[in-house]
Structure 1
Amino acid sequence: MTIEFLLTSLVVVATPGTGVLFTVAAGLARGARAGVVAALGCTLGTVPHLVAAITGLAALLHASAVAFEVIKYLGVAYLLYLAWSTLRGKQAFTVAADREHRPAAKVIGSAVLINLLNPKLTIFFVAFLPQFVGPGEGVLRMIELSAVFMALTFAVFVAYGRFAAAVRDRVMTSSRVLTWLRRGFAGAFVALGVRLALAEG
């Protein structure tokens, strides 16, 4: 394991994107537990991309313009759906006294779907990880590096989620703040959707 791999992976993981946005939203809306669950879901969402990279499906996806476009626009559609549901969900960012939580399975399912429908993550596994796999190391080395990447993903996302939960009560008591939070998250999801739509395989 090289320092270069760890630092590069950390930069990739910590850079705000769809998963970070989803985790922060979960932490703000439903507290620390939801933030951790969202972080777990986003981390699990990398597994299909790892499997695809190992089996060669990712290379096929990268080479096939049609397949890339299909996955890409499914991702765009889901991001726009998240934007719409966030904007319309009046209770999405309500601080409840009883600290009710959305079922963990639903949070994890949404988080996994976010990463599953992100073709750029597959391309990341194809283009980035092989650079650190030496001759003769093969699949086991790739799994090892992917496990480290997933551990970093979970740790960083948990930090994002717990930070959001820590400031939750301070920023969620004003109806004006709640309105702008909904608009801000909805706008961010739209922006990420547009960026994904403009991405080229």
Structure 2
Amino acid sequence: MVSFEFLLTSAVVVITPGTGVLFTVSTGLSQGRLASLWAALGCTLGIVPHMVAAAVGLSAVLHAGALAFQALKLAGVAYLLYLAFMTWRDHTAFSADPAAAPMAPLPLVGKAILLNLLNPKLTLFFMAFLPQFVSPTDPAPLWRFGLLSLIFMGMTLGVFALYGLLAHAFRERVLGSKTIQNRLRQGFAAAFAAMAGKLALSER
């Protein structure tokens, strides 16, 4: 069974503006709704190498004992606090340049894959966060890890696609208003900080 905590935290991670969201939104603004869907697909596929890299070392992590678990948890807390800090200070989170030249689907997907493939924070996310939701007594921990990863990828695809599809509708109101941009930025930062506090207080 997938916990509510996992779904909530994953939603916060996916929704928070980052390079993938910015790329999808800017593509939707400059090249239209269909292009934004290709961009969302590419960003989602770019998660796969990070997921595989994390899964390779998962078994060792789960059997390394309480000290390793605490270190892993601290890494997760530090990661979430880092994201909160970076989100808080990033005043260009919803900025986008709608003047980009049109791009064919295949190069567009390739560019989006490369964008996430070169994002080291995704590997840290899979290594430091997802294992918190995999019990060391689970008879098939790698299967569980894979399931959670696929759910995370599905949420990424859905949310990124939604960002792209709504980019035109929210262009005047969001991209044209510094006040709304700041409120969204502060809200995401606060959500990350809250998740860090919850993780810090969690027990194995």
TM-score, with structure 1 as normaliser: 0.62
Q: Confirm whether residue 145 of structure 1 aligns to residue 154 of structure 2.
A: no
Q: Where does the alignment leave 5 or more consecutive residues of structure 1 unmatched?
A: 60-85, 94-100, 172-176, 178-201
Aligned to 1:128: 129
CA RMSD of aligned residues (A): 2.4
Counterpart amino acid of 1:34? A
Mapping of residues 76-155 of structure 1, within 5 Å = 91-92=99-100, 101-134=102-135, 135=137, 136-155=139-158
Aligned to 1:52: 53
Separation (CA, whole Å) in 2 of partners of 1:91 and 1:145: 37
Aligned to 2:187: none
Per the TM alignment, residue 56 of structure 1 is displaced from its structure 2 partner at its CA by: 2.6
Separation (CA, whole Å) in 2 of partners of 1:128 and 1:91: 37
Mapping of residues 148-187 of structure 1, within 5 Å = 148-166=151-169
Separation (CA, whole Å) in 1 of partners of 2:19 and 2:147: 25
| SS at structure 1 position matched to 2:167 | helix
Decide whether the 8 Å contact of 1:39 with 1:154 is kept in 2.
yes
Aligned to 1:28: 29
Q: Where does the alignment leave 5 or more consecutive residues of structure 2 unmatched?
A: 61-95, 177-204
Separation (CA, whole Å) in 1 of partners of 2:158 and 2:99: 28
Per the TM alignment, residue 7 of structure 1 is displaced from its structure 2 partner at its CA by: 0.2
Q: Give a deviation string over 1:86-132, Cα, whole Å, max 9, x none.
A: 98xx9517xxxxxxx52111111111111111111100000111111
| SS at structure 1 position matched to 2:100 | coil
Separation (CA, whole Å) in 2 of partners of 1:129 and 1:11: 14
Decide whether the 8 Å contact of 1:32 with 1:166 is kept in 2.
no
Counterpart amino acid of 2:167? A
Separation (CA, whole Å) in 2 of partners of 1:139 and 1:165: 40
Counterpart amino acid of 1:106? P
Aligned to 1:198: none
| SS at structure 2 position matched to 1:165 | coil
Separation (CA, whole Å) in 2 of partners of 1:46 and 1:6: 17
Separation (CA, whole Å) in 2 of partners of 1:167 and 1:129: 32
| SS at structure 2 position matched to 1:48 | helix
